[in-house]
Structure 1
Amino acid sequence: MKKRVRMDDLEVFVATVEAGSFSAAARQLDISPALASGAVLRLEASLSIRLFVRSTRKLRLSEDGQRYLPHARQVLDALSEGEMALAQGREEIAGPLCLSMPSDLGRNLLLPWLIEFQAAHPRIELQLRLSDQIADFFSDRLDAGIRYGQLADSSLVSLPLVPDNRRILCAAPAYIALHGAPSTPEELVRHNCLRYVMGELTHERWTFHTPQGVKAVVVAGDRTSDDADVVRRWGVAGLGVVYKSQLDVRDDLRAGRLVELFPRAWGQPTPLQLVCAHRQSLTPVVQQLRAFLLERFAGMTAD
């Protein structure tokens, strides 16, 4: 008699593929590596196939494993969707919600909104991680993240929040009075450009979509920070030119603390999106949060 496949074994198998090893999958699932390895061995026995080709240095999918993987994911997705459908039928959402988000956007725009969201759902346990560094969804145990730009990791699930967002080149009136305003991207080499650092990389290659085509300029300045909110504050203080998301500088432009230097259409596209590790992460609370944020962003009047 053929053994029945266990759902928890399927979950370990998919997690092992995504994490790259039994030990990494075990950490993600909060089980021991021995249990993770045993679950995959049990699944292989149930299916009478080898899912992985094992060696002392590497673990990779077998041909049978590659064929079986999309079906395993489909089964888990269907189970997750069923659980979410049941949960959405309840009146109240509850439990922990761990979010990562950019420093500037998080402090100055999203924080008041999230206070309102939690007031509407008081049984949510909100955990915020504000950082401009790229978060690891698995090791940091994140439910979701709010990120700018296109994702380098295609395995993540990305849901648009503000797909038409762009960067804006701007400076304070005091800086412009002392140093003038650039009229072309090439003129930025003569200006003090305030830059932020992500990981080991400094964001110093600024790209513009001009009528003459896409132009990229390597800029320099006397200040850098790994906190984009600090960079914006330097710009407001008149210390240099900043190239920031229009969502980050919207209030500064309206108040006259910053002045837009180039036409809006020249700015580099920087879509804002809600990101999850996989489809199973789209829990009712995450879906409610996305709907809430979409409503708030849609309600922002145009500049």
Structure 2
Amino acid sequence: MKTMPSPDKLLAFDALARGGSFTAAAELLDCHKSLISARVKELEQELGAVLVLRTTRKVALTEAGERLKPHAARLREMLAQARMAVDQTQCDMEGPLTVSTTSSLAEHVLGPILSDMSEEYPALQLSLQVNNQLQDPISNVLDFCLRSARSHKVHDDRLVARLAGYARENLYASPAYLERHPPILQPADLARHRLLLLESEQKNGLALQSGENIVRQPVAARLYLNSYPLRSELAQAGHGITLLADYSVQQQLQSGALRQVLPDWHCDYWPIYLVHPFRTPLSRKYQAFIDYTLPRVRAALPDNQRRSGRE
């Protein structure tokens, strides 16, 4: 079986055919003329034909060389078009861009940001996938993931993780509920109250932290809920105390629909990362997405606001 001619050798032959000498061909490809000579010789051996007749200063194409000449030229043109296509992709601010995140981050943080971004960059085809399971940008064919890194590995060597900030999970209840029930001044007071939790959250006691002080407070939840929107609705309606991420309750706190319980204590604290496949250099739309979304995500996380206020 005959071997396929090497593209590098064909490009060397094309430069020689265009330049008419090894010196001119070397200038066209910005290399040494000995490299041109070696590659053309190897190409002749691969094809089993003499392609050029060498003289002291110039070369002449043989019949085989003349027949090969237009094919080598087409290869050069095709490679140039391929490079142009990639360069255009790197420079374009248009086309698809797919992002994944959890339901709560989508609703309260990333969704509004992407809606604003679609107005500013109308040629981008932004797609937001909501999935509470851990998503791998590479295997799931995603451009970006906004991840809550609570109990799993955020990234590996194939990925880049950019820290957006931290989220806290706190206890909240409606003012009406708090007025009807005994005051809550310390974690032990929770034992006398109705809590709306996941079963796993109250197993072995509800973990609470204030500075370096950590306690596990036994509680008896009367209703187990794995839906955060439903937890929020029931808490606002006065049905009990629940755990919610701080970024998800800002409007309710401002309107007075919810009030934080034990404000000096929080139940969980975790980082949030913008994760994407490792690529260098980044395309223009990738860099624009990072530059647009990351500072806005950071601004939407209350813990970042608290930190900046203390500085």
TM-score bracket, normalised by the shorter chain, equals: 0.5 to 0.7
Deviations 1:119-158 (A, max 9, x none): 1122222222224333354553322221223462252532
Q: CA deviation at 1:259?
A: 0.5
State the secondary structure of the residue aligned to 2:177.
helix
- Distance, in Å, in 2 between the alignment partners of 1:295 and 1:263 is 27
Does 1:160 find its partner at 2:163? yes
- Distance, in Å, in 2 between the alignment partners of 1:168 and 1:183 is 15
- Distance, in Å, in 2 between the alignment partners of 1:220 and 1:134 is 30
Per the alignment, residue 279 of structure 2 pairs with 280
Q: CA deviation at 1:171?
A: 0.7
Per the alignment, residue 178 of structure 2 pairs with 176
- Distance, in Å, in 1 between the alignment partners of 2:234 and 2:195 is 10
- Distance, in Å, in 2 between the alignment partners of 1:218 and 1:143 is 43
Q: CA deviation at 1:251?
A: 1.3
Q: Structure 1 pair 133/89, CA: closer, same or farther in 2 (3 Å)?
A: closer
Q: Which moved more, 1:232-241 or 1:284-293?
A: 284-293
- Distance, in Å, in 2 between the alignment partners of 1:138 and 1:224 is 35
Q: Structure 1 pair 140/234, CA: closer, same or farther in 2 (3 Å)?
A: farther
The aligned runs of 1:101-120 (5 Å cut-off) are: 101-120=101-120
Residue identity matched to 1:178 = R
Check conservation: 1:161, 1:272, Cα contact below 8 A: yes
Q: CA deviation at 1:231?
A: 2.1
The aligned runs of 1:214-229 (5 Å cut-off) are: 214-217=214-217, 219-229=219-229
The aligned runs of 1:1-303 (5 Å cut-off) are: 90=91, 92-150=92-150, 152-153=152-153, 154-155=155-156, 157-163=160-166, 165-196=167-198, 202-204=200-202, 206-211=206-211, 213-217=213-217, 219-264=219-264, 266-276=266-276, 278-280=277-279, 284-297=284-297, 299=299, 302=305
Count of aligned pairs: 213
Give unpaired runs (5+ residues) of structure 2. 1-85, 307-311
Q: Which moved more, 1:257-266 or 1:211-220?
A: 211-220
Residue identity matched to 2:254 = R
- Percent of pairs identical after alignment? 23
Q: CA RMSD in A?
A: 3.3
Q: CA deviation at 1:258?
A: 0.6
- Distance, in Å, in 1 between the alignment partners of 2:258 and 2:95 is 40
Query: Bigger radius of gyration, 1 or 2?
Result: 2
- Distance, in Å, in 1 between the alignment partners of 2:139 and 2:223 is 31
Give unpaired runs (5+ residues) of structure 1. 1-84
Deviations 1:4-55 (A, max 9, x none): xxxxxxxxxxxxxxxxxxxxxxxxxxxxxxxxxxxxxxxxxxxxxxxxxxxx
Check conservation: 2:97, 2:125, Cα contact below 8 A: yes
